[in-house]
Amino acid sequence: MREGIAREVCRRFQWARPNGQFAVSSCRLLVLRLARRGFIQLPAARRPGNGAALRRAARGPEAGPGGLEPGVAGAALTGALVVRPIQPAEYPGWRSLMARDHYLGRTRSRAS
């Protein structure tokens, strides 16, 4: 059911990978994240997950960028977006955010 929703979102927005196939996996992750944050409501899962969400909930909320709670950072951003290399003092926070929010989890960067 949820994969069907993701496939339909890909179709409507023409969200495709370079090979032309719909980016269903990436879209499904986006849809799940939107549901977790309360932007959309999904039908109940047919199968229980792998428990990652339960483990994450048991850890409790982690601070986001600048020590803000999750979901607060977006509301606090009012200036222009700046893309720059991560500074050495920012590595621990970056690693924490990658482990928490990126669908592949934390990956090693060349700077690590």
- DSSP class of residue 46? S
What type of residue sits at position 56?
A: R
Does this model's pTM top 0.75? no
How do the pLDDT tens digits run along the chain, 112 residues long? 788 889 999 999 999 999 999 999 999 999 999 888 888 888 887 776 655 655 555 555 555 555 545 554 554 556 676 778 888 998 888 888 888 777 777 555 555 4
Tokens coding 27: 């879209």
Strand partners, 9: none
Q: Report residue 8 as tokens.
A: 């339909």
Please state the φ and ψ torsions of residue 16, each to the nearest 5 degrees: -130, 155
Q: Which 3 state secondary structure label does DSSP give 61?
A: coil
In this predicted structure, what is the pLDDT of residue 65? 52
Q: What pLDDT shows up at residue 109?
A: 53
pLDDT score, position 2: 81
